[in-house]
Amino acid sequence: MRWRPAEWCSRAIHVDYTLALDEGIDEAQVRRAHTAHTRYCPVARSIGGCIEITTDLTIRSAT
């Protein structure tokens, strides 16, 4: 018997990240990490082939 997802199973996951950066943190590095993180996240790697994963990043000042 082959596994099939239930009707209510998600086919897509969207994550909204909101980060408050302290002074001196390089915003470009944070954006670069966000762009690459799904390639290295074990959960994203295991489900990424069958579930679409999208993200948004909002950066604000910590102060």
Give pLDDT tens digits for 6-63: 565 668 889 999 999 999 999 999 999 999 988 888 988 888 788 888 999 999 998 7
With respect to residue 22, please indicate whether it lies within any of the assigned structural domains: yes
With respect to residue 35, please indicate whether it lies within any of the assigned structural domains: yes
Task: Give residue 9's pLDDT.
Answer: 64
Domain that holds residue 33: 12-61
With respect to residue 54, please indicate whether it lies within any of the assigned structural domains: yes
Task: Give residue 57's pLDDT.
Answer: 96
| Number of domains the chain contains | 1
pTM attached to this predicted model: 0.70
With respect to residue 57, please indicate whether it lies within any of the assigned structural domains: yes
With respect to residue 7, please indicate whether it lies within any of the assigned structural domains: no
Task: Give residue 21's pLDDT.
Answer: 95
With respect to residue 1, please indicate whether it lies within any of the assigned structural domains: no
C-beta of residue 17 within 8 angstroms of C-beta of residue 55: yes
With respect to residue 30, please indicate whether it lies within any of the assigned structural domains: yes
